[in-house]
Chains A and B, each alone.
Chain A
Amino acid sequence: MAFDYQIPAVPQNVGDDVRPVSSAQTAEVKKRKGMIPGESQKSKIWGYIGIVLAGLVIAVPLYFVVITSFKTHGDIYSNPISWIPSPWAPENYSYVWNNLNFSRYMINSIIITLVLVVVKVAFGVLSAYAFAFIKFPGSGILFFLVIGTLMVPNEITIISNYALTAQLGWRDTFTGIIVPLAGTAFGTFLMRNHFRSLPKEILEAATMDGAGFFRTLFKVVLPMSWPTLMAFVMITAVAEWNQYLWPFLVNDTGRAAPLQIGLTQLQDVEGLTNWGPVMAGTVLASIPMVIVFLFFAEVHD
């Protein structure tokens, strides 16, 4: 299924300057020597105003959501907004966790994401290995078939997939959520391109030494692929954690529902009045991927 479609390109450059060192240095040197004008004081000030504005536009709504999740009902309905909760109400969190099933949704989200990451990474690496290293008849056509799925938007697949899933009795189950999402075109494409960029000599040497498939994969190919593999894992984890449309359709009672669907149910239960618990649920559904992202950015620095 083509849910892979929305996966972003590898975001490995966040907070990470990969400018070629040499030319940047020469520019710096020229600037110091007064050969070219450096940035004027005025343009620097405008730059900082821009940075602060951009930061605020992103940070203020996030801050607003987090503090609302710690506010009591009365505090939320105060005008003007109180920027620090008084009193603090962490009970919003225990309420959604214990009374509104969020512990269940959290476990479901973790199960679904873990299984999909493991399966997709395995499928991606294995089929990429075949497409990159093994010459076999029809490999060109099969690869085209895999990549072609990226061109199929998911709205055209949901109706028939839903009917099939219902027929198989998979509604409201992990199987029903996971299996239709488990194939990977994006991962196959990403890993194959990476595998083909590896030095041929090393692989030939491995073959000469009589290394079989498993030894070549685990001892030769994968050790040279960690950064790409990590990016693949992270992108898949974020995409699957945030998956919405398909789990939403398959869900019935909430038994196998991930957090994102739990949020919709929370909204239905609490309506548009009890914002404290709703915001607590939102924060709970988002925090794990924010942590994954920060960890990833850290690793890349």
Chain B
Amino acid sequence: MTAPTIPGLENSQPLREPPQRKAKKSLKRLFLAAILVIPNIILLIVFTYRPLIDNIRLSFYNWNISSTRAAKFIGFDNYIEWATDPTSWAIVWQTIIFTFVAVAGSMVLGLGLALLLDRNLKGRNLVRSLVFAPYVISGAAIGVAFQFVFDPGYGLIQDLLGRIGIESPQFYTDPHWALFMITATYVWKNLGYTFVIYLAALQGLRKDLDEAAEIDRTPRARKFFRVTLPQLRPTTFFLSITVLLNSFQVFDIINVMTGGGPLETSTTTMVYQVYQETFVNSRAGYGAAVATIMFLAVLVITVVQVRMQDKEQ
């Protein structure tokens, strides 16, 4: 029996070793590697790659997930229905607004807080921990809690607004305010993530440039745009991708706070639409089509972002 040759390893054994022993050793090594790697890889294949392909297949079927009847092949009908339904486009638009505001909001505020808490001020460690705290709490818990925070009758927001003589908006019945509430809650919860990453990046910046700017008495705003921000570009790029992908996939906050409503779909994003169609309306084929469209959108956005980054360098 011949052992597989391993590139780069042929000469690594002592030359005196007889070939059979060498072969036996590399076989043993292969066996060990297989044991270590296979369970994890099998799980990833069965629960990530298999459903990815299966989902694309299902998107061409008419299929009720909770019935035993066989799925019926209908070609591109699900996609055509999606593209011709005005509701889908409203949901796409809501997803874009939510994602854009969530990404921009948490990045700008996270950077602002990082700059503030990077300064040598008393009490900054306490506030640093505080800002990160909501990030370790689940979206479900924060969503439930913020339902009462935003309660127009007895919540925190209406109380604070009342003190300056403003009447609370109807966060649960007004479609625009409902979307605002979801977005604000998301930003509040996830601010800690952008904050921590920016803070770590700020602490790794080149101090000589900073000092040079200080000695030259560069105005602070100018120093920020000309010295600090350009150095943070890789971090900003990393965050723009991860925050975008994460906010694209928000489910928990929407599910507990509004259930996608008011008016049926005012706060429904595409992920929530996948859930609604598949598990509430029992139209799994249609849900799978929406999921596939989303997946392609994510893929395109990521590729474009990476390309843009490559071009810059």
Give residues in A with beta carbon < 8 Å to B. 1-2, 5-6, 8-9, 11, 13-15, 17-20, 23-24, 26-27, 30, 35-37, 39, 43-44, 47-48, 50-51, 54-55, 57-62, 64-65, 68, 76-81, 123-124, 126-127, 129-131, 134-137, 139, 142, 145-146, 149, 151-164, 179-185, 188, 213, 238, 241-242, 244-245, 248-249, 260-261, 263-264, 267, 272, 275, 278-279, 281-282, 285-286, 289-290, 292-294, 297
Contacts and interface: CB of A to CB of B under 8 A. Distances in A.
B138 A244 contact: yes
Interface in B217-264: 217, 220, 245-246, 248-249, 251-252, 255-256
B6 A153 contact: no
A245 B279 CA distance: 12
Given A37-B214, A61-B188, A159-B51, A139 B136 contact: no
Given A135-B9, A290-B136, A294-B129, A149 B58 contact: no
Interface residues of B, number: 106
A258 to B, nearest CB: 9
A126 B133 CA distance: 32
Contacts of A181: 47
A292 B52 CA distance: 34
A9 B239 CA distance: 10
Given A27-B207, A248-B255, A76 B58 contact: no
Q: 7 tightest A-B contacts by CB?
A: A183-B43, A160-B51, A242-B138, A23-B207, A160-B54, A130-B36, A157-B51
Q: Which of B41, B214, B298 neighbours the largest number of chain A CB atoms within 10 Å of its CB?
A: B41
Contact of B252 (A142, A245, A282): A245
Contacts of B215: 35-36
A89 B117 CA distance: 37
Contacts of B299: 151
Contacts of A179: 43, 47
B181 interface: no
B41 A134 contact: no
Interface string B152-176: 0010100100110000000000000
Contacts of A55: 123, 126-127, 130
A136 B33 contact: yes
A105 B117 CA distance: 38
B199 interface: yes
Interface string B106-149: 00000001001101111111111111111111111100111111
A17 B117 CA distance: 11
B291 A155 contact: yes
A249 B151 CA distance: 28
B214 A36 contact: yes
B137 A290 contact: yes
B138 to A, nearest CB: 4
Interface string B295-313: 1001100100000000000
16 contacts: A1-B44, A39-B119, A43-B220, A51-B124, A54-B116, A59-B130, A61-B146, A61-B156, A81-B159, A136-B6, A156-B294, A157-B55, A158-B278, A160-B58, A160-B288, A290-B136
B219 to A, nearest CB: 12
Contact of A249 (B40, B129, B248, B279): B279
B207 A24 contact: yes
Contacts of A290: 133, 136-137
A160 B48 contact: no
A8 B128 contact: no
B8 interface: yes
Given A1-B48, A2-B48, 9 more contacts: A43-B220, A153-B295, A154-B249, A159-B65, A160-B51, A244-B251, A263-B256, A264-B256, A286-B137
A156 B141 contact: no
A234 B292 CA distance: 33
B7 to A, nearest CB: 8
B51 A11 contact: no
B49 interface: yes
A20 to B, nearest CB: 7
A159 B29 contact: no
Contacts of A77: 154
Interface string B53-64: 011001000000
A185 B47 CA distance: 12
